[in-house]
A and B are shown apart, each in its own frame.
Chain A
């Protein structure tokens, strides 16, 4: 079955380290998204991509970067991890070729703790 996976599921790191969270989908979806979820804020968009080599900043992109070298993967990199980036991170994808088919499907999440 097609799916969207994230790795690692849990990560503890130290302030200042570079961290990369992986997202892989097997639906052949054009669109991929990264969100963070925090108590009191709900889900907020970090970065998104509408296709290979396309990336765009979301609402809370500072301190994060993404690259899209193929359809299946959109890794999220924290350049220099900060305690404020402790959160649960979700990757999502949607079909995108037809406007009516833009239902988003989510991965299981990565819980990141920055000490």
Chain B
């Protein structure tokens, strides 16, 4: 059974730091992986979607990488800002040898960027 883990559960950094959020998954048979941001009391906002054939995706100050064979993805945030404070969720879509499964979520990393 696919499991998704995000470590650490919480992270506090000073403004301006470059940082990396980690996501690991137990089964390398995935169709894609999606990173989300969730602000307190709000829904999830999609940040980046990486297909299984891709190694990375970039959007502005965000860069997500995928290493399927090792079951890992990282979300790199450059020059962090207080507005980046939120919970970041990773979700994988399993691949069942011909069909896609539904998204399986990690529990998230709560990021706090201090001014």
Contact = CB atoms under 8 A, between A and B. Distances in A.
A63 to B, nearest CB: 19
Contact of B106 (A42, A100, A106): A42
A99 B102 contact: no
Given A103-B49, A106-B43, A107-B43, A58 B102 contact: yes
A106 B107 contact: no
Interface in A1-21: none
A102 B103 CA distance: 10
Contact of B44 (A44, A45, A58, A90): A90
- What's the interface size class on A, roughly? 20 to 34
Contacts of B44: 43, 90, 92, 106
A100 B46 contact: no
B108 interface: yes
A58 B89 CA distance: 20
Given A106-B44, A107-B43, A33 B102 contact: yes
B43 A90 contact: yes
A109 B51 CA distance: 27
Interface string A32-67: 010000001111110010000000001000000000
B34 A103 contact: yes
Interface of B: 31-32, 34, 36, 41-46, 49, 51, 89, 91, 93, 100, 102-103, 105-108
Nearest first, the 7 A-B pairs at minimum CB distance are A106-B44, A106-B43, A42-B107, A43-B105, A108-B43, A103-B49, A42-B105
